[in-house]
Amino acid sequence: MSEAKNRILARLRQVNPSAPERPEQPYAPYLGEDAPARLARFCSRLEAAHAEVVRCPQQSLAAQLQAMVKGASLTRLLAGNDGPFSAAISQAGGSRLSCFDKPMSEFKAVLFTDVDAGISQAWGAIADTGTLVLWTGPNEPRSLSLVPPVSIIIVAASAIMDNFAQLLAKPQCRQGLPTNLLLVSGPSKTADIQQTLAYGAHGPRQLYVVVVEDC
């Protein structure tokens, strides 16, 4: 063993390894007083995580999406091929929109090089942490919200739950989860390098969330 290595090990052994004791803080899951309070908490938590959140009625969803796409200068969109908001997505996307209706092998090149934004439909959401829940599958591939630089996710206000325990208590979850149940709480970020927070390192750098309030 080299002398330098011995010096380093000796210095490490002199350090007191005991960490200061911290008082235990019991976890108390959020329980919303009512639907407006639940919605307000969900939006505020997402915005605190650098997501851009808008709220609109269902009849204005297509116009809201069009304004969002135009404002962000998005020219190539990709969406799933099923869900309650598919008609509004098709209307908003027009000729810029492609639907994920082929095998991944046929979409891979376009998905990784041409698509500006993926549009997803959330299965649910959690107010406690400001989290969107995506139930992925052939009609809602996980790549849709992970690969493009911009992710747009639509969620019904009625699908927002108080906390994670309520999510797991849903009959669908108790019957069996999909291979990938995605929990999204903001744009992709990392602080791996010198603890400097950077967005878009491993996924979308921007997250737009549309909350549809009357469905």
**Residue 146 forms part of a structural domain:** yes
What pLDDT does 54 receive?
97
Answer whether residue 203 shows pLDDT above 90.
no
- DSSP bridge partners of 140: 137
Q: What is the mean pLDDT of the chain?
A: 90
Determine, yes or no, domain membership for 205.
Answer: yes
pLDDT at site 14: 78
CA distances from 201 to 149, 196, 208 (A): 10, 12, 17
Residue at 55 is within a domain: yes
> Would residue 10 count as lying in a domain?
no
Checking DSSP bridges between strand 189-190 and strand 198-199, what pairing results, if any? Answer: antiparallel
* Torsion angle (degrees, nearest 10) of CA 42, 150, 96, 213: 0
Could you tell me what percent of the chain has a pLDDT over 70?
97
| 8 Å CB contact between 141 and 199 | no
| Inside any domain, residue 28 | no
Q: What percent of the chain has pLDDT above 90?
A: 63
pTM for the full model? 0.85
The pLDDT tens digits for 5-54 are 888 888 888 776 666 677 777 788 899 889 999 999 999 999 999 999 99
DSSP codes of every residue in 128-174: TTTEEEEE-BTTB-THHHHSSSEEEEEEEGGGEESSHHHHHTSHHHH
- pLDDT of 187 > 90? The answer is yes
**Rounded Cα–Cα distance for residues 159 and 123 (Å):** 7
What are the tens digits of pLDDT across the range 103-147? 888 888 888 899 999 999 999 999 999 999 999 988 888 899 999
> The domain spanning residue 208 has which CATH number?
3.40.50.10420
Q: Is 13 part of a structural domain of the chain? A: no
**Strand-pair partners of 98:** 78
Nearest to 38 by CA among 134, 177, 150, 131: 131
* Residue 120 falls inside a structural domain: yes
In terms of pLDDT, which residue wins out, 145 or 201?
A: 145
Does a structural domain hold residue 117?
yes
Cα(92)–Cα(79) distance, rounded to whole angstroms? 11
133 close to 189: Cβ distance less than 8 angstroms: no
Q: From its phi and psi, is residue 200 left (phi > 0), alpha (psi between -120 and 50) or beta?
A: left
Weakest mean pLDDT among 52-56, 140-144, 151-155, 168-172: 140-144
Paired with 56 in beta bridges are 212
Predicted pLDDT of residue 1: 60
Q: Is the pLDDT of residue 90 over 80?
A: yes
Domain count, the chain: 1
Q: Which domain holds residue 178?
A: 40-188+201-213
- The order of strands in the sheet holding 124-126 is 160-161, 124-126, 131-135, 181-184
